[in-house]
Amino acid sequence: AQSVAQPEDQVNVAEGNPLTVKCTYSVSGNPYLFWYVQYPNRGLQFLLKYITGDNLVKGSYGFEAEFNKSQTSFHLKKPSALVSDSALYFCAVRGRRNNDMRFGAGTRLTVKP
Amino acid sequence: SAVISQKPSRDICQRGTSLTIQCQVDSQVTMMFWYRQQPGQSLTLIATANQGSEATYESGFVIDKFPISRPNLTFSTLTVSNMSPEDSSIYLCSVEVGGVSYNEQFFGPGTRLTVL
């Protein structure tokens, strides 16, 4: 079965600095990989996905993620963080033969002015 | 894409009672999923619900506690039975929609349940 690990419970960055939220995965075969964001008292919002093709995926709000097959990673990045990026971020994986999505534990990103 | 609504959006319930959560989708979908997000934690898949067949439950979840209905391709319900404070969570409905290269998954806004 597929699984996802987000090694950091919390990431703190200063506004304007680059940010990275880490994610590693385990799945049989090639994965579908996703990042979602959850703001307080709101549902999950889709940020970006990797399906196939280019390893660098660009998504909403200036976020991007790089699929690294050798390291089984899919880290989320943004060149310049905003205070409004502060939220809970979830990495998720789905196998190509499975229909269910598995989520990481989540990383709380705090961007300080 | 798919637009998903859930009812109720939140509820406060007494121990020992049951609550049924409704999930409505604006298009016909084959795959529907129910997730639970306990306070401060990630999402955990409860079950997969396909129309016309019994739901498939993940390890740790049983039909007696979380009965699911899937009467048609746009609707599903999840019942949280004989509730205890440990059932206090956000319950999310999710659907899979066919895309060009793969099936995309969308999430409802969630139902925030508090059990006293």
Instruction: Give the domain CATH number at A16.
Output: 2.60.40.10
What per-residue confidence (pLDDT) applies to A111? 97
Residue B61 has pLDDT above 70, yes or no: yes
CA-based radius of gyration for chain A: 13
Q: Is B97 on the interface with A (CB under 8 A)?
A: no
What per-residue confidence (pLDDT) applies to B1? 75
Domain chopping of chain B, boundaries? 4-97
Contact yes or no for B45 and A102 at CB 8 A:
yes
Q: Using H for helix, E for strand and C for coil, what is the string for A14-63?
A: ECCCCEEECCEEECCCCEEEEEEEECCCCCEEEEEEECCCCCEEECHHHC
Q: Is B31 on the interface with A (CB under 8 A)?
A: yes
Contacts of B109 in chain A (CB under 8 A): 42-43
What is the pLDDT confidence band of residue B40, given thresholds at 50, 70 and 90? confident
**Structure tokens of B32?**
């529907």
What per-residue confidence (pLDDT) applies to B102? 62
Q: Is A51 on the interface with B (CB under 8 A)?
A: yes
Residue B82 has pLDDT above 60, yes or no: yes
Average pLDDT over residues B11-16: 97
The whole-angstrom separation of Cα A66 and Cα A81 is 17
> Which fold is adopted by the domain B4-97?
Immunoglobulin-like (2.60.40)
Average pLDDT over residues B78-90: 96
Contact yes or no for A51 and B102 at CB 8 A:
yes
**Structure tokens of B51?**
């129309």
Average pLDDT over residues B11-22: 97
Number of domains in chain A: 1
What per-residue confidence (pLDDT) applies to A98? 62
A80-84, A102-106, B21-25, B80-84: which range is least confident on average? A102-106
For A93, the domain range is 3-112
What per-residue confidence (pLDDT) applies to B34? 95
Which letter, b or e, does each residue of B57-91 get, where b requires 16 or more Cβ atoms within 10 Å of its Cβ?
bbeebeeebbbbebeebbebbbebbebeeebbbbb
Please, what is the average pLDDT of chain A?
A: 90
Q: Is B100 on the interface with A (CB under 8 A)?
A: no
Q: Which parts of chain A register pLDDT below 70?
A: 96-99
Percent of chain B residues topping a pLDDT of 70:
95
Contacts of B48 in chain A (CB under 8 A): 99-100
What is the pLDDT confidence band of residue B115, given thresholds at 50, 70 and 90? very high
Residue B113 has pLDDT above 60, yes or no: yes
